[in-house]
Structure 1
């Protein structure tokens, strides 16, 4: 394996943007990929994959290169070099002879020391699984040692690319055939009527199928949320924390564009993105509303179905967003818990009697999920009935870590 200097420069520069300038990883990578139109798909793949993986394993790499708390460009080059060496060590025998280029940035990289430190790291879960101290302690406290060991290991594996075919425009068999024509292999998931699991990590956003709204990229766990609402054509549905609208669009497809969906959020920019996605998807039965002080009161007892996909830590999806674990704090999660329960207790008033509400999070933590539902039922159980709940597990079923519960208002 040969490392090309411009690509290594790009990775190191992107890492500095993420860790020193606090840019989101996906945006930092997108920016650098747009900076050089001459890079081919292999070059772009090298930059994106290496950046994400180094971010994912940052604490472990920080440990093996024995970096100080205060970092400079030299330490990111060291981390890049250590990652190449560790990859080669775990690769096929042909890669075992890999050596770093004779560049000044690698002049102080001690291969034997890196391998020795890596062996030490294997005995310390928070280092080998590359998580902050507080997050490792929190995960163990809420899930137990055995389950946390499995989940944090699974969350460090690369997530598959899964599509939700837009049934307003096509079906998964047709889309699978069209993808095959572009040498993109797709398989079915029997639990997901509209789901396709892709082989490898092809760039699907450039395909005409995506631009024409034939599919969205959406994990299997996320695809389970909208069906739990049990929507019917002609209903009035509120998606109260819609964001950019992945689940909103799924609801529109399930309703066959009949009825009315009100997609709400506190951020205008997310609703604007949802409007763009809705046009592409051909979802015609939805409107967007910015949540303002009187919005919830005005919509009291107006919805047949209500989705509360509340803001959360995102710990169930960090395999897709590995930089999140370096930005989260205990205080932030504690504040989120308050927001989550406030949304559940206040927004639930928008549901009609006899209607169904789904409360969902993409967190592994019961304190952000099951605990809220238990408390809600304890306090308002005479008005509500729990019909169904489910938790998905990266370790057990390979899905992102979601919790979802369907409650009916009596």
Structure 2
């Protein structure tokens, strides 16, 4: 790499690091900056991304008194040592890769800390009609996740930019984390049902639910951000999904429809600790106060869901976080407030645990935590209930 190119990579990465805060996350800044770099080669763009994310992964271990350039060099040295000798990294060093308040909200294990320092695992999901085609075309770069509902889920080992692949652009597969796919399967939607995806975001779970309905039934998708719903529409069009409706909703006013639903998915706003491997900068912008405020919002959204659920209907709660405040405590508070909602237990089948995870499932539960080090995915908590039928 020429010195001029190297200096350009360093300058751009450092500029992004300095601009990054809670309102300007690293992935957003990177997307905008690299889009403007029309002449930068793909491998140089990858070097910018690597420099930024490596800095945030190891930020807690760095000397803030040093120059940013020196801090980044130290972070890259730590990263290289970790990837070569993860087992020899001292626990007191590893504990610094997340803020101290994390230990007040969850059990911080060495396994989890090691996992969030590793490169992200990429997962694909293909619609049933395209699964075989994708597997044949990319066979050497894919590992199937399992059978049954996981038959068209694959771990990707290749180097090519998935967004530039013709198979992606023609809707033959979605890039969707394994934990996110588990949420859709955990809902167990049946063809002919009507579902509400309350906080749909950019539509990853909406598209998955609509696909599971086999074009029979409908998914109603709402989100407070109109721009997210526009991205949902583009995503659904690419995937050739048409059995959905979308509308903006702020989570406070009356929903934009009156009908009761067979099933509701609340993928609630959360602190996002489960995504800290993918979004390491969020470790340093999320606070304990955020966690406490979000638990109230999560409970209020669950309250809104109950009012729109048919007798016998299904309610699934999911958050991509691992804090006890936003997971088991919200679940127990909800059950105490709404005795008409009975636990809908899961015994490790329907959906089955992906075979690729090689997990032994314990006793049946209705609240389950996807551990990143076991699933090689984001962390996720899911809980589900059914509304009791009237006597």
After TM superposition, the score normalised by the length of structure 1 is 0.81
- Report the number of matched residues: 360
1:299 Cα shift? 3.0
2:266 and 2:316 in contact (8 A); partners too: yes
SS in 1 for 2:92: coil
1:397 to 360, 375, 390: 375
- Cα distance in 2, alignment partners of residues 221 and 51 from structure 1: 25
CA displacement, residues 347-368 of structure 1 (integer Å, 9 cap, x when unaligned): 2211100111111111111221
2:323 to 365, 368, 371: 365
Structure 2 gap ranges (5+): 347-365
Judge conservation of contact 1:359–1:404 (CA < 8 Å) in 2.
yes
Q: With CA pairs under 8 Å and 6+ residues apart, which has the higher RCO, 1 or 2?
A: 2
Task: Please show how residues 329-344 of structure 1 align to structure 2 within 5 Å.
Answer: 329-344=287-302
Task: Answer with 190-199 or 378-387: which moved more.
Answer: 378-387
Distance in 2 of aligned mates of 1:297 and 1:41 = 43
Partner of 1:25: 26
**Structure 2 partner of 1:175:** 134
Q: In the superposition, relative to structure 1, how do residues 149 and 339 fare at CA in structure 2: closer, same or farther (>3 Å)?
A: same
RMSD: 2.5
> Whose radius of gyration is greater, 1 or 2?
1
Paired position in structure 1 for 2:47: 46
Measure the CA separation in 2 of the matches of 1:356 and 1:337: 21
1:81 aligned onto 2:73: yes
Q: Which residue of 1 aligns with 2:154?
A: 196
1:230 to 177, 188, 193: 188
Measured in 2, the distance between the counterparts of 1:120 and 1:309 equals: 35
Q: How do 1:292-311 and structure 2 match up within 5 A?
A: 294-296=253-255, 299=258, 302-311=260-269
Cα distance between partner residues in 2 of 1:271 and 1:40: 32
1:200 shift after superposition: 4.6
Aligned equivalents of 1:332, 1:90: Cα separation in 2: 30
Q: 1:175, CA displacement in angstroms?
A: 0.6
Q: 1:170 to 1:125 in 2, by over 3 A?
A: closer
1:30-109 mapped onto 2 (5 Å cutoff)? 30-60=31-61, 62=62, 66-68=63-65, 75-87=67-79
Whole-Å separation in 2 of the counterparts to 1:177 and 1:391: 33
Q: Which residue of 2 aligns with 1:95?
A: none
User: TM-score normalized by structure 2?
Assistant: 0.84
